[in-house]
Amino acid sequence: MGKYAKVIATPNIAVIKYWGKRNEKLMLPTNSSLSFTMDETLKTQTEIQFDAALKEDSLILDGTRLAGKEFEGVAKVLAYVREKYGQTPKAKITSKNHFPTAAGLASSASGYAALAVSINAALKLDLDGSELSIIARLGSGSASRSVYGGFVEWQKGSKQDGSDSIAVQIANENHWPKLRNVIAIVDQEKKKVSSRAGMAETVATSKLFKERLEFMDQRVEKMKKHVLDRDFESFANLAMLDSDNMHACMADTTPRIVYLNDVSRKIMTNVRSLNDKETICGYTFDAGPNAHLYTLEKNVPAIQKMLSKIAGVREILVCKVGNGPRILEKG
Positions touching ligand PMV (CB under 6 A) are 14, 17-19, 33, 106, 108-109, 140-142, 195-196, 286-287
**Residues with Cβ < 8 Å from 47, sequence gap 6 or more?**
4, 5, 6, 7, 93, 94, 95, 118
Nearest-approach distance from CB 162 to ligand PMV, in angstroms:
14
| Cβ 15 vs Cβ 242: under 8 Å | yes
| Cβ 187 vs Cβ 312: under 8 Å | yes
φ/ψ bin of 2: left (φ > 0), alpha (ψ from -120 to 50), beta (otherwise) = left
C-alpha span between 279 and 155 (Å, rounded): 29
C-alpha span between 151 and 321 (Å, rounded): 8
| Cβ 312 vs Cβ 262: under 8 Å | yes
* Cα 205 → chain centroid: 24
Closer CB to ligand PMV, 95 or 108, in the complex? 108
Nearest-approach distance from CB 96 to ligand PMV, in angstroms:
19
Closer CB to ligand PMV, 131 or 286, in the complex? 286
Nearest-approach distance from CB 276 to ligand PMV, in angstroms:
28
Closer CB to ligand PMV, 195 or 245, in the complex? 195
Nearest-approach distance from CB 196 to ligand PMV, in angstroms:
6
Closer CB to ligand PMV, 18 or 283, in the complex? 18
Closer CB to ligand PMV, 170 or 327, in the complex? 170
C-alpha span between 40 and 141 (Å, rounded): 20
Nearest-approach distance from CB 34 to ligand PMV, in angstroms:
9
Closer CB to ligand PMV, 129 or 288, in the complex? 288
Nearest-approach distance from CB 199 to ligand PMV, in angstroms:
7
